[in-house]
Structure 1
Amino acid sequence: MVLAETAVLGAGVAAAAPTMAVAPSVVPEASGIPERFVAIAPEADVSHHGYVLLRGAGLRVRVRTENHGPSNLAGVTVRVRTSVALAWRQKLPQNCLQADRWTVLCRTDELRADGAEERRLALELRLAGRPDEVVVRVDTLWNGGATDRNPRNDDHEVLAPATRDEYVF
């Protein structure tokens, strides 16, 4: 059994009692863990879909992020990694930052559980060179600690040859 212990800190308040974040099926009724220490992690189903287009030193990445539930999420951090180094000083959307030479991180707003809302991300990235192809990986870096039992729809790897065609994921 794996238990993750966390301490909660508030402004001017000492550390509160630790809580244990566990999946419901992990804590049997007779586990002996006091109920006040057990916090069930929310469950969500984040999905990313979109396309990648390579044109010279330019890389267009479009991502549509949704949450099919069952819990709402305060936000998601989408990670876009490339096999070719990015140029420094990218012009990125307001909720994005370049983490290193190969990685861009973007934060979404709240995602309701019913999948009715979607968040769109439009990146126009500049590569350090003019490759014949690039591999782009799009995945979820952070989802607020929710459990996602279907990670296949939010973890994609796409090969984009320099054909000026859209490669869908």
Structure 2
Amino acid sequence: MSGRAGAWTGPEADVAYHGRVSLAQGRLRVWVVPQNEGPAPLPNATLRVRLSAELADRQELAEGCARAGLREVVCETGALPLHGRGRHIGLLLELKERQPEVVVRIDTWWNGGASDRDLSNNQHAVLALDTGDAYAF
């Protein structure tokens, strides 16, 4: 903290997520590229993927990812350099029951205590229809 009450002196970073989702026959594919527009680099962050449908009991998740609930998965991004990208994250998630559509919400779960003034580029909600089509965010 600085001399002013309530002023935050930690790093500031602008984490953003870009990618796509697709749903086909009860299988949801999520591909995300995290990036950081700065002004400070981050050693790591964690993104969260939340679904409007329950996940199947068994999941084979990508390295650095873990299940966080009946409808949630979290994944570490790896280092996010200034004006750079983290590791590409690819998930193939099995749903408990086949659904005609699923809402996929992607946001930051943890960012190492950095402040982020622009949340519009790291909070996404995507409606994926069971057509196999890819929906970009």
More helix by share: 1
Q: Separation in 2 of the partners of 1:45 and 1:88?
A: 34
> Which residue in the other structure is 1:120 paired with?
88
**Deviation at 1:113?**
1.2
Q: Deviations over 1:129-154 (max 9, x none)?
A: 11000000001111111110111000
Contact preservation (8 Å) 2:79, 2:86? no
Q: Find the aligned partners of 1:97 and 1:52 in 2 and give their Cα distance.
A: 18
Higher RCO (C-alpha under 8 Å, 6+ residues apart): 2
Mapped partners of 1:160, 1:113: distance in 2: 32
Partner of 1:110: 79
Residue by residue over 1:26-81, the C-alpha shift from the partner in whole angstroms, topping out at 9 and shown as x without a partner, is: 82xxx6xxxxxx86111000000111100011000000100110111010101000
- Deviation sequence 1:98-149 (CA, Å, 0-9, x none): 011100000121111122x332100000000110000000011111111101
User: 34, 49, 54: which is aligned to 1:65?
Assistant: 34
| Identity across the alignment (%) | 46
State whether structure 2 residue 37 is matched by structure 1 residue 83.
no
Q: TM-score, normalised by structure 1?
A: 0.76
- TM, length-normalised to structure 2: 0.94
Spell out structure 1 runs of 4+ moving beyond 6 A: none
1:95 corresponds to which residue?
A: 64
| 2:135 pairs with 1:154 | no
Largest Rg, 1 or 2: 1
> Is 1:43 aligned to 2:12, yes or no?
yes
